[in-house]
Structure 1
Amino acid sequence: MALVIKYAKVIRNNWKKSVVAVGAAIYGVKYVKGKYDEEWIRREFCAEALKYGNVRIGLKERPRKITVFLNPAASGGGALKVFEKNAAPILHSAGLDVNIVKVEYEGQVKKFLSIMEKSDTDGILVAGGDGTLLETVTGIMRKEDKTFRQNIPVGVIPLGLKNRFAKLLFGGDKDQVLLMCEGAMSVVRGLGRSVDVISLKEDNGRTAYALCGLETGAFWEAEHRKSKYWYLSVLKHRMTYIRSAFSDWPPAVKAKVSYVLATEENTQLKQQTEQPKQEPKGSWLSMLFKPKVIKPKAEVIEEETDDENDVLETRDLSTVELTAVSTCLQDPTQTVKGLEVGIGPADPSVWEFITEGWRRVSEPSLRLGAKTNETMLVKKIRIEPEDPTKFYSIDGELFESVPVTIELLRKRIKFFCVDPEFKLS
């Protein structure tokens, strides 16, 4: 009892040091527990992957080949270490033949994909941020062989800052380690489904492709500018909206938009098939001695929509925010599929702008824009901005603000996923 009283007196006489010591102890316990949980997650996923690796294959069969596009600059330059610690053990435990391609410059992935054939790989795994994924999607969509994207699925190991599409694919409430393990395990399981892609075509004929959408305006510019206020630590997220409100006001995006509203009739998909080449007929002797040949089935190339009865509408916009998002950020129960265009208020007050910005900081969301924005569902849209000095954000990457035609392409790329019946929302 005397010992307890002695320690109580010490704590009372040195209460400041005691508070710091207790705080440090609590932090240390949480840190150790977090590391233990992460290691447990890795072990569980490796154990499951090992079940796939123990399955015997025939003498004429080969392990599945997976090509990994790894961006070493992601995760603050530690992407390779993070990948080898979390994702690589799962892939190797499953007996996959993994070929890692380190991305050293912009455009390298697209060049690599332009010469890749279906026989070179059984799947593609993108280990990087949103920019690496965007480049991979663009490279696949630009290939002349349309059957490549039908037969070669794409997986995602999120190593970037936002990882919006990966969170939509595997769940936004999971921590980084669990997301990476889920991404690797989805490749092992081999389950997948086709996902819609956005086409963004410029007047010069150059076309880029995205998965989530486009945004431009004052809110995105403020979010992009927050890194300048690094010295404010956690307050930089709020300071950026204050500085944006008082430095350049009103922050209007002025553009002329032409669009076709989406309806059930004009968004109905029609399958197009490619018929196999017919072999020339031989003589009656060839019918006797020629071995039986199984004719290949006609292969579905793409699913297109009918553009004959489209009605084009035009509108001049002056708004604080403009977004165009794909189906992955829309209500999955929605029957009509199209691009959801969001138009913010034309002339908000300074306080309204700051309040909405702070709300987005307090309530982070994967969606683009605010729920209160005016929305319309379109089949395709053309944006002609007045100010060429501004920028678009397409899946988190900067693009010049030029006239662009945006269209939704249905079921274009197959992605590895946890559940083939999943609904992006």
Structure 2
Amino acid sequence: MAFVVRTVKTIRTHWKKSIFFSGLTVYGVKWLHDRHNDNLLRRKYCDEAKRYGDDTIGLGHRPRRVTVFLNPAANGGKARKLFEKTAAPILYVAGIEVTVVSTEYEGQVKNFMTVLDTKDTDAVVVAGGNGTLLEAVTGFLRKEDRSFRDNIPVGVIPLGSSNRFSKTIFGHDQDSVKAIADAAIAVVRAVTKKVDVIKFDGGGERVIYGLTGLEMGAYRDAEERKTKYWYFGPLKSRWTYLRIAMKNWPPLSSADLSYIQATSENMAFVDEETKQQMQPRKVGWSFTDFLFGRKQKYLVQEQAQKEELAIEEEKQRIDENVSTTELTVTTTTLANPKAPLNALQVTFGPVEPTRTELIQEGWDRINRSGFQMGSVGDQTRVVKTVHIAPSEKTEWFNIDGESFEAMKVNVSLLQRKLNFFCPAEMANETR
């Protein structure tokens, strides 16, 4: 009883210190509890991976080989620790032969992709943020070896700060450990789905291949600038939108758009196997077939049909000048998984928003879960292809979350172009 009395007196006498240390104790207990739960989660995924590793392989066969491109600089330099603590054990206990390539400079992943061959690996895993994945996808699509991209699936380990594309596959409402573990176990399970790729062609060698889309305008600029206001702590994002509303009003971006509207006919997807079946079969011998080759003759006819179709589509091209707070390009199926047509979706926001509307929309985006480009009520164009010509040379694009100097660019959709590891429930999705 005396101990209790002394304790109460001490708390009453030193109440400020008591509150401080009580808060510190609660924080410490919660931290230990969270770490314990994370370790239990890691063990759960490793137990599943071990069942794959315990499977025997036949004589003359070899374990699966996976090449991991790890960007240790992602997420403020925390990427390597996150990978080694959560993803790597899952891959190793599954009996996978893992080769980890740590990147040291920008563009290195694209260079590696040019020399990587199907004899070197059975899968490629990108462990990093948006920029690392963008490099890998661009390297994949630039390869001349078509069999490589057809036969080598891609995995994504989300180690960056935003991880846009990964969230469209594995979900948005996940903590860091579960998101990484889900991505790693997807590589182990080897379940894949075909994913659309967006091509951004600036002419010459300035070609980029992305997965989520393009952004231009005030909201893109705000996201880019918020790191400059780090001294505001958790309020830096809100302050950024206040700052934009107070300075250089109205924050409008102008661009000339030229696009071809999408239809079910011009967006019809034909896979390579179907194309092979559509080729005329040889039923007899002729001197023409012998001289020129039947297949070459078919290819010439197919090219002529494509050129004729392109001429007809150009006659239907629509030109439009827009002045807006935001311009975005993504796919209809990312914007709405139940969209009836798989095509590009161009959106642009209001021309004259009020300061309050811009600030409120920016603040709403801070806590937004789920993938969304643009704002509710934006004007929308569903297109097959679009040419964007920014009016101001000072504009910047965001492509898959990475900044690029704005330029004239042709945007088109490459349907079901790459195989990505995914959860089992997504494997049967058609797009």
Q: TM-score, normalised by structure 1?
A: 0.89
2: distance between equivalents of 1:421 and 1:103?
Answer: 30
The answer for the alignment partner of 2:176 in structure 1 is 176
Contact 1:327 / 1:338 at 8 angstroms: preserved in 2?
A: yes
The answer for the alignment partner of 1:137 in structure 2 is 137
Written as runs of structure 1 = structure 2, the 5 A alignment for 1:83-98 is 83-98=83-98
Which residue of 359, 369, 375 corresponds with 1:370?
A: 375
Residues 110-142 of structure 1: per-residue CA shift (max 9 Å, x gap): 111112221211000001110000000000011
SS at match of 2:193: strand
The answer for the alignment partner of 1:60 in structure 2 is 60
Residues 7-31 of structure 1: per-residue CA shift (max 9 Å, x gap): 3333233322222222112111110
Alpha-carbon offset, residue 4 of structure 1 = 3.2
Alpha-carbon offset, residue 147 of structure 1 = 2.2
Alpha-carbon offset, residue 151 of structure 1 = 0.7
The reply to whether residue 398 of structure 1 matches residue 403 of structure 2 is yes
The answer for the alignment partner of 1:337 in structure 2 is 342
1: distance between equivalents of 2:327 and 2:36?
Answer: 44
Which residue of 320, 344, 349 corresponds with 2:354?
A: 349
The answer for the alignment partner of 1:79 in structure 2 is 79
1: distance between equivalents of 2:70 and 2:105?
Answer: 11
Closer, same or farther: CA 364–34 of 1 in aligned 2, 3 Å: same
Contact 1:329 / 1:424 at 8 angstroms: preserved in 2?
A: no
1: distance between equivalents of 2:203 and 2:78?
Answer: 39
Written as runs of structure 1 = structure 2, the 5 A alignment for 1:143-162 is 143-162=143-162
1: distance between equivalents of 2:362 and 2:222?
Answer: 9
The answer for the alignment partner of 1:9 in structure 2 is 9
Alpha-carbon offset, residue 235 of structure 1 = 1.6
Contact 1:196 / 1:327 at 8 angstroms: preserved in 2?
A: no
Q: TM-score, normalised by structure 2?
A: 0.88
Closer, same or farther: CA 275–361 of 1 in aligned 2, 3 Å: closer
Q: State the number of aligned residues.
A: 397
Closer, same or farther: CA 157–362 of 1 in aligned 2, 3 Å: closer
2: distance between equivalents of 1:125 and 1:68?
Answer: 5
Closer, same or farther: CA 424–106 of 1 in aligned 2, 3 Å: farther
Alpha-carbon offset, residue 247 of structure 1 = 2.0
1: distance between equivalents of 2:367 and 2:118?
Answer: 46
The reply to whether residue 314 of structure 1 matches residue 319 of structure 2 is yes
Alpha-carbon offset, residue 366 of structure 1 = 3.0
- Structure 2: gaps of 5 or more residues: 278-305
Residues 283-326 of structure 1: per-residue CA shift (max 9 Å, x gap): xxxxxxxxxxxxxxxxxxxxxx9756432111010001000012
SS at match of 2:270: strand
2: distance between equivalents of 1:251 and 1:155?
Answer: 38
The answer for the alignment partner of 2:298 in structure 1 is none
Contact 1:72 / 1:79 at 8 angstroms: preserved in 2?
A: yes
Contact 1:66 / 1:121 at 8 angstroms: preserved in 2?
A: yes
Closer, same or farther: CA 249–392 of 1 in aligned 2, 3 Å: same
Point out the more displaced range, 40-49 or 2-11. Answer: 2-11
Contact 2:191 / 2:427 at 8 angstroms: preserved in 1?
A: no
1: distance between equivalents of 2:81 and 2:87?
Answer: 10
Query: C-alpha root-mean-square deviation of aligned residues, in Å?
Result: 2.0
Contact 1:328 / 1:424 at 8 angstroms: preserved in 2?
A: no
Percentage of pairs with the same residue: 45
Task: For 1:38, give the aligned amino acid.
Answer: D
2: distance between equivalents of 1:185 and 1:376?
Answer: 38
Contact 1:212 / 1:328 at 8 angstroms: preserved in 2?
A: no
Which residue of 315, 326, 329 corresponds with 2:331?
A: 326
Contact 2:172 / 2:370 at 8 angstroms: preserved in 1?
A: no
The answer for the alignment partner of 2:188 in structure 1 is 188
Closer, same or farther: CA 364–191 of 1 in aligned 2, 3 Å: closer
Alpha-carbon offset, residue 80 of structure 1 = 2.0
Point out the more displaced range, 242-251 or 23-32. Answer: 242-251
2: distance between equivalents of 1:377 and 1:30?
Answer: 48
Which structure's residues are more often helix, by fraction?
2
The answer for the alignment partner of 1:409 in structure 2 is 414
SS at match of 1:195: strand
